[in-house]
A and B are shown apart, each in its own frame.
Chain A
Amino acid sequence: MDFDLTKEQEMIRKEVRKFALKEIDPIAGELDEKEAFSEELTQKMGEIGLFGMFVSEEYDGQGMDYISYIIAVEEIARIDGSQAATIAAGNSLGIGPIYYFGTEEQKQKYLPGLCSGEGLWGFGLTEPTAGSDAGGSKTTAVQDGDEWVINGSKIFITNAASDMTMGVTVQAITGTRDNGKPEYSCFLVESGTPGFKAVPMHNKLMWRASNTAELYFDDVRVPKENILGNKGDGFHQMLKTLDGGRLSIGAMGLGGAQGAYDLALKYAREREQFGQPISKFQAVAFKLADSAMEIECARNVLYKACWLKDQKRPFEKEAAMGKLYASEVMSRVADHAVQIHGGYGLMKEYKVERFYRDQKLLEIGEGTSEVQRIVISRYIGC
């Protein structure tokens, strides 16, 4: 058994941490306050290679293992949830499906631009009436000669309405299966396709500097080669994508918990009340001790899930556990961190309130905590 990271993994952690401190930390608060998605920062993240991390070099990816990708997301999330969201969604949801399920032509066409960070790609699954119950979606695609005609709408789609967005993958019903259930397929829809509209969503509680969109498809025609992989594979592709995506949401929970804990520990050692640093009060120290312990446990379960994936072994149960556990750890740690900051913790001048807000999405996105528990309970035979 070996708990050591490789030299590359260590170096990736170190360099991404430096990048986050230098480029993201000074502006994260302001971007959050203004609810501004920064194209400039996204491009900088692209330049140092934060997109296409697990994609092989032949498609201009970075050729890293999955755990390196997860470490990079963790380090960005340690500083800012919004930028981590851009990276996690960009890789797992934008690039992932094209890389894993796309045809050779699709990969050649789209991956280089996405891996360099010049462009972003969204993944449209959730609909206004179909969230946890993704099987209840209503968007349809009908073949008409050499084209598919898509109609419907999607909601809460990350990276889908920025000026850098090159397109979206959208899941639609393409028929009925033998068992009477709908058949799903995924389609690649480029930005600017007539009838396709992406509208930014505003007034979010969290991830305020991440781009979120509502998508409308009104008789959108795409060439038949824009189907992702094979017809009828849509549901399977979505499940596989979410399995990987869960690891990146887990990484955001882990990194965010670490970031909130770092702030709380520093503050507790500096803030004095009753003539001593508040870290000396057992009530405060125990909160920090619990946080440190839970972060350690979250890191272990998450890295193990990544390790299983890198070994090409089943990792789905562990991915659900890692996502669920890390996001709930961040909830508890961010709560402690604000409590330790007292009144200052509620002020925007102190970064910790942003962690407290950003955390909540992690228990909802890419499968709510309840859904993760359903997934785990199925794996253990309930």
Chain B
Amino acid sequence: MKILTTVKKVVDVELNIHVESGAIVEDGLQYVINAWDENAVEAAVVLKENNGAETTLVSLGGGDMTDIIRKCYAMGIDNGIHVDDPALEKADSSVYAKVLQKVYETGEYDLIITGKQAQDTDSGQTGIMLAEYLSIPCVSNVIEIQVVDDGNIKVSRLGDAGTEIVEVALPAVVTVSDSINEPRLPAMRGIMMAKKKKIETTDLAGLGTSYDEVGGNALKSEVVEFMKSETRQAGQKFEGDAAELAVKVVDLLANEAKVL
């Protein structure tokens, strides 16, 4: 089985980000792998360990992806492709999906595993659009993947009311939830071996396409402004007897929070 996983580089939100005139200040930012994509990588590596598979990851976007891809190598991914094209800087989910379609078409993959969303945009569309463009099945929010045979997998997806078990024919796209697994920490040996592995770098032209062809000049959506979330105010603590407290809390709910 040949598995393709997608990995997006996102801003490390655990560090403070600064916003100036409606955009994130790039200087001093640190990047990490989108957390859900780490689950996707882990899922691919687990399938490889249990059933045998060749795992390839693809990362889109300009800039240095070496650490991100090497980390995935260290976790057990076999091959890495970096579509390094500055044109992709403003791309939306649809453009990403189109580029992934091109990547898919250059290899013969049986299964595509993506994170169900990216932690920076939270839009959760790329994997689903990719399946649509490829006209293959897609199951989203998956929490378990089992191989049935060469041509079929059985996945569990978390629905609102319970877990659905879905059997799908390959090739297919699966987008995974963070409850599917706990991504492993790469071992030291893996980190050292990762350095010796090659990263295949290509661009849109290398994939036989152009920014225009993947829809870059007619973006379906565009971010016009970025506003930082308000930091939460510290809570308030009151002491006193129950009756006094009740009066105080009701007053605050009615007059400060204005929810009553």
Task: Name A residues whose Cβ lies closer than 8 Å to a Cβ of B.
Answer: 7-8, 10-12, 15, 18-19, 22, 47-50, 53, 57, 62-64, 68, 72
In the complex, chain A residues whose CB is within 8 Å of the CB of B71: 11
Complex CA gap A19/B187 in Å reads: 10
Asked if A11 and B189 sit within 8 Å, CB to CB, the answer is no
Q: Which residue of A lies closest to B188 (CB)?
A: A49
Residue B74 at the A interface, CB < 8 A?
Answer: yes
Complex CA gap A48/B195 in Å reads: 17
Asked if A63 and B189 sit within 8 Å, CB to CB, the answer is yes
Q: Which 9 A-B pairs have the closest CB atoms?
A: A49-B188, A62-B188, A49-B187, A48-B187, A63-B192, A62-B189, A49-B189, A15-B185, A19-B185
Which residues of chain B in 60-89 are interfacial with respect to chain A, using CB atoms and an 8 Å cutoff? Answer: 66-67, 70-71, 74
Q: Which residue of A lies closest to B184 (CB)?
A: A48
Give the B interface residue count (CB, 8 A): 15
Asked if B185 and A8 sit within 8 Å, CB to CB, the answer is no
Q: Which residue of B lies closest to A53 (CB)?
A: B188
Residue B191 at the A interface, CB < 8 A?
Answer: yes
Asked if A11 and B187 sit within 8 Å, CB to CB, the answer is no
With contacts defined as CB atoms under 8 Å apart, how many contacts are there between chain A and chain B in the complex?
46
In the complex, chain A residues whose CB is within 8 Å of the CB of B194: 8
Can you give 13 A-B contacts (C-beta < 8 A)?
Answer: A8-B192, A8-B194, A10-B67, A11-B67, A11-B71, A11-B186, A12-B188, A15-B191, A22-B185, A49-B187, A49-B189, A62-B192, A72-B188
In the complex, chain B residues whose CB is within 8 Å of the CB of A63: 189, 192
Q: Which residue of B lies closest to A9 (CB)?
A: B191
Complex CA gap A197/B186 in Å reads: 38
Given contacts A8-B194, A11-B74, A57-B189, 13 further A-B contacts (CB under 8 A): A7-B70, A8-B70, A8-B192, A10-B67, A11-B67, A11-B191, A15-B191, A18-B185, A49-B188, A63-B189, A63-B192, A64-B192, A72-B188
Complex CA gap A57/B188 in Å reads: 11
The main secondary structure of chain B at its interface with chain A is helix
Q: What's the minimum C-beta distance from A45 to chain B, rounded to whole angstroms?
A: 10
0/1 interface trace, chain B 175-194, chain A, CB 8 Å (1 if under): 00000000001111111101
Q: What's the minimum C-beta distance from B196 to chain A, rounded to whole angstroms?
A: 10
Return the contact of B66 from the options A7, A15, A22, A62 (Cβ within 8 A).
A7
Return the contact of B67 from the options A7, A64, A72 (Cβ within 8 A).
A7
A7-B70, A10-B67 known; A64-B188 Cβ under 8 A? yes
Q: What's the minimum C-beta distance from A251 to chain B, rounded to whole angstroms?
A: 15
Asked if B189 and A8 sit within 8 Å, CB to CB, the answer is no
In the complex, chain A residues whose CB is within 8 Å of the CB of B70: 7-8, 11
Complex CA gap A49/B194 in Å reads: 14
In the complex, chain A residues whose CB is within 8 Å of the CB of B192: 8, 62-64
